[in-house]
A and B are shown apart, each in its own frame.
Chain A
Amino acid sequence: MNANDQPTIPITDLRHRQPRFQGIESGHRACLGCGEALAARLVTEAAGPDVMIANATGCLEIFTTPWPESAWRLPWMHSLFENTGAIAAGMEAALKAQGKSTKVLAFGGDGGTFDIGFQSLSGMLERGHNVLYVCYDNEAYMNTGIQRSSSTPHAAITTTSPAGRERMGKRHLKKDILTIIASHHIPYAASASVAYPCDIRQKVRRAMEIEGPTFLLIHSPCPLGWGHDGALSIEVARLAVKTGLFPLIELERGELIGAMPLRDPRPVTEYLRLQQRFAHLFKDDPRARQELEHLQALAERNIEYYGLKGTQDDPRDSEGADTVRRGGQRWA
């Protein structure tokens, strides 16, 4: 077999004949193995071409639109950190006034969602706008140089939560944003992970069908900020799910209606060990051991609270949901 055979069809033609909708083109400046770039492409692919996007300041905004270029193939608008919810709400109201059914998507990182843009997001949800808000959660302000956000997990190192004599990384806990969102009693809110693309698509399609505010939180590894090889982005995201640290759940009107079961919950160390931001937890230090125990307890609390432990093998559980089929049939 020879991988170096010259193409018979020019590769640029091939690019335009791909059997999927491509919302984000190549040539964007995301880092190697970027989880967010992958997640955003998967979301636009499932949402389809009849959408408009308001995009908060952040990595996604920066790496897709270095003027005078744009990687987007969709109507897209840069909002600010703090007003994405408001901009999306305005876009939706304007479309409604014109009698158009185009769905508005709002994209933000965890900084623009958990912290800075939270007020306008809450207002958008409260007023019941027909918007799907997607938060790409890479657990820190990566674009500005890896500062902690309220989404940064407990004990992780960022440039503003270093490990040292006083602290073992971030002192506080990761904000439970989904519960806060759910308290708005919106029709649909869910968490997803780039390690489970089918699950992302199902959740996006579900949200697209709903008339009203919906929210999707997608765990998106950042190789640079988390300190792992770009090749391991999926591996890391998968272990976050399999350990119970990032549960994949669905909420309707604030009530838990589903969770991806864990067939075989893994110890949190399997997840933490792959990332430099947790490297200090593997030093010979009693505080490190205590933090590892703490993180394990947080995972166990999730497993118990959301009833994640599967009772039997299930094709939709953490082991079955990514099973491959010859000819790509798993993506059907």
Chain B
Amino acid sequence: MTELTRGAYALPGTSLTFKTGTWRVQKPVHHYRPAPCRNACPAGEDAQAYLGLLAQGKPQKAWEAIVEANPLPAITGRVCHHPCESACNRGQYDEAIGIHGVERFLGDEAIRLGWAYPVTPPAAEARQVAVVGAGPAGLSAAYHLLRRGYRVSLFDSLPVAGGTCRMAIPPYRLPRNVLEAEIERLLATGIDFRAQQQLGRDVSLQELQQDFGAVFLGPGTQKNREWSIDGAVPRDLHVGLDLLKEWMTVGSMIQASSVAIIGGGNTAVDMARVLKRCGVPTVHIITHQSLPGDGEDAEDAMRAIPREISQAQEEGVIIHPHRGILRLILRGERVVGVEMAHMKKLPRPDGSVQRVPFEGTETVLHVDQVIPAIGQQVDDSGMADLLQRQPLFSPDASCALPGHPGIYVGGDARPGTGSVSAAVGDGRRAAAAIDRYLRGLEPALDNLPEAVPFQQINLNYFEHAPRIDAPILPPAQRSGQEEIETSLEANQAGHEAGRCLSCGNCLACDNCWTLCPDSAVLKTTERAADGSHYVFDYDYCKGCGLCAHECPCGYIAMEDEG
């Protein structure tokens, strides 16, 4: 046989000796960025992470990813106003992912299957931290301190833990068995719960400061704001939150044929819905603010959760937006009606706003009860020195109280929160700050980078898919304490997880691996240290940027070569 001369052939695969990586002026890198849902979550949950784990068929790992940030997913999955879904990039494509339904599903699965919180009991000599108030902020702070290895004593004036979740959120939004199960499981992780210990009565702040390395205060807002109309107050005045608490603990409710509730927050809306359930035929809500989503300034909308407002309207609650009360119509000291008028927000010369009733818009509403639900303030018992007669505390972003080292405040007791999720987030941030404080480190905040914008998602690679929401009880059946919203089935939760666009994180879709013209993307599970399934082989990557452009998730970025 004829021998081929050397010039006539080359050996297979020998081009590997030629490193085309030297051509590169830009290189692709895996660039994790938070999904918008993560940055929007007041509790700090990374929904993208747990949706991804659920989509991989790992529900327990998914739940563990939630409780990294939030130990109460069965509760927040029900009561949160889910800003994650408003921020979801998929909302600009078809419909946002039903994140709250998945969170709720995973929270319920954890209770049903008894998944253990990823917490190890603290060492006997570990430093101790006191947490005052066993509401969502206090529970979250206690849990996160425990995770960081501290021994935690949790004080509450009531015999049971739960705070606002127990006292002010009606069972039709948060069934008691769920609340009990979640809190019982959480306390069993090793939190030393000291019931019926009220600050200023059973224990003093000075004692706590002496006995513990740091103190977290999550007292909530327990004191009613003063309310009157030009000094007039009906004799039998009932305040919204007090009535709500009474109904939930004792089960009693006032009798009336027509009630006007004043306020636009969650208490007002919950109160109205409870009254309907207790048989009051006509329930009005009178609020200065607008209904959410009617195209007006979102700042001016009612503070209650939009979903709850629309459900209240379905149940027959009459809402009068942009209305203010001019006068109580009294027979003796009993209310027989209110006079209200349309109000408009007008700017004052100094930039603040003023609400002005318009002449000629006065109407009279015949009611036999007026219930103010205009907000609460901190009850300063045992904390008068800290509060200095202010209605709320003003801690910094890490929840530290300026001028009082070692004291941290979170939850409803500070301005700008007002949700269970925000309280949970406060507890988490405060625990991190307390940890640094006790270790003698400077405070540091976890500033998340900017979220992946919608424009960086390559939509060519996604199909439209309808969102699945769990069925909601029709208004005619919403009479008792039965929960209105139901749970997703396992396959439905999986469907929602599968709809996630995986913004800013690897979907392991193989696009980069399949489409690289230079075979410079290598597939691996064990080698990819950054959580993706691929590595770039920079010996051969020419830096064309095709992988970055075709990454569905915006996870690959091009960087200039140094």
B19: chain A residues at CB < 8 Å are 27
Q: Is A234's beta carbon under 8 Å from chain B? A: yes
A327 to chain B, nearest CB (A): 5
- Checking A2, A33, A326 against B517 with a beta-carbon cut-off of 8 angstroms, the contacting residue is A33
In A44-81, which residues have CB < 8 Å from any B CB?
64-74
A15: chain B residues at CB < 8 Å are 522, 537
A-B contact count (CB 8 A): 173
Say whether, besides A27-B20, A229-B545, A37 and B524 are in contact (CB < 8 Å).
no
Give Cα A5 to B535, complex, Å: 10
Say whether, besides A2-B530, A37-B518, A26 and B29 are in contact (CB < 8 Å).
no
- Fill in one digit per residue for A1-30: 1 if any B CB lies within 8 Å of its CB, else 0: 111010111010011011100101111111
A68–B543 touching, CB < 8 Å: no
In B47-65, which residues have CB < 8 Å from any A CB?
52, 55-56
Give Cα A324 to B533, complex, Å: 15
B31: chain A residues at CB < 8 Å are 3
A34–B535 touching, CB < 8 Å: no
- Among the stretches B110-118, B176-184, B428-436, B456-464, the one at the interface with A is B456-464
A70: chain B residues at CB < 8 Å are 10-15
A323: chain B residues at CB < 8 Å are 461-463
B522–A328 touching, CB < 8 Å: no
In A150-167, which residues have CB < 8 Å from any B CB?
none
Give Cα A225 to B32, complex, Å: 34
A33–B530 touching, CB < 8 Å: no
Q: Is A173's beta carbon under 8 Å from chain B? A: no
Say whether, besides A3-B31, A25-B13, A69-B18, A9 and B526 are in contact (CB < 8 Å).
yes
Show 22 residue pairs from A and B whose CB-CB distance is below 8 angstroms, ordered by the A residue.
A7-B527, A11-B522, A11-B539, A24-B519, A25-B12, A26-B15, A26-B537, A28-B15, A28-B518, A32-B545, A33-B546, A35-B517, A68-B10, A69-B14, A70-B14, A233-B544, A322-B461, A324-B509, A324-B552, A327-B508, A328-B509, A328-B513
Give Cα A32 to B509, complex, Å: 22
A320: chain B residues at CB < 8 Å are 463
User: Which secondary structure dominates where chain B touches chain A?
Assistant: loop
B56–A71 touching, CB < 8 Å: no
Q: Is A210's beta carbon under 8 Å from chain B? A: no
Q: Closest 4 CB pairs between A and B?
A: A328-B510, A231-B545, A27-B15, A5-B529
B542: chain A residues at CB < 8 Å are 32
- Fill in one digit per residue for A200-233: 1 if any B CB lies within 8 Å of its CB, else 0: 0000000000000000000000010000011111
Q: Is A100's beta carbon under 8 Å from chain B? A: no
Give Cα A28 to B524, complex, Å: 23
A63 to chain B, nearest CB (A): 9
B18: chain A residues at CB < 8 Å are 27, 29, 66, 69
Give Cα A5 to B29, complex, Å: 12
Q: Is A319's beta carbon under 8 Å from chain B? A: yes
B interface, size bucket: 35 or more
- Checking A38, A65, A66, A324 against B461 with a beta-carbon cut-off of 8 angstroms, the contacting residue is A324
Give Cα A9 to B29, complex, Å: 19
A35: chain B residues at CB < 8 Å are 517
A26–B514 touching, CB < 8 Å: no
In B522-562, which residues have CB < 8 Å from any A CB?
522-524, 526-527, 529-531, 535, 537, 539-540, 542-546, 548-550, 552, 558
B514 to chain A, nearest CB (A): 5
B535: chain A residues at CB < 8 Å are 7, 11, 14
- Checking A5, A229, A328 against B508 with a beta-carbon cut-off of 8 angstroms, the contacting residue is A328
A66 to chain B, nearest CB (A): 8
B507–A324 touching, CB < 8 Å: yes
B70 to chain A, nearest CB (A): 21
A32: chain B residues at CB < 8 Å are 23, 542-545
Q: Is B99's beta carbon under 8 Å from chain A? A: no
A230–B544 touching, CB < 8 Å: yes
In B19-56, which residues have CB < 8 Å from any A CB?
19-20, 23, 29-32, 52, 55-56
Q: In the complex, which residue of chain B has the Cβ closest to the Cβ of A40?
A: B517
A8–B32 touching, CB < 8 Å: no
B552: chain A residues at CB < 8 Å are 324
Give Cα A218 to B31, complex, Å: 33
Q: Is A41's beta carbon under 8 Å from chain B? A: yes
Q: In the complex, which residue of chain B has the Cβ closest to the Cβ of A24?
A: B519
Say whether, besides A15-B522, A22-B519, A33 and B545 are in contact (CB < 8 Å).
yes
A30: chain B residues at CB < 8 Å are 517-518
A60 to chain B, nearest CB (A): 12
Q: Is A197's beta carbon under 8 Å from chain B? A: yes
A1: chain B residues at CB < 8 Å are 30, 32, 530-531
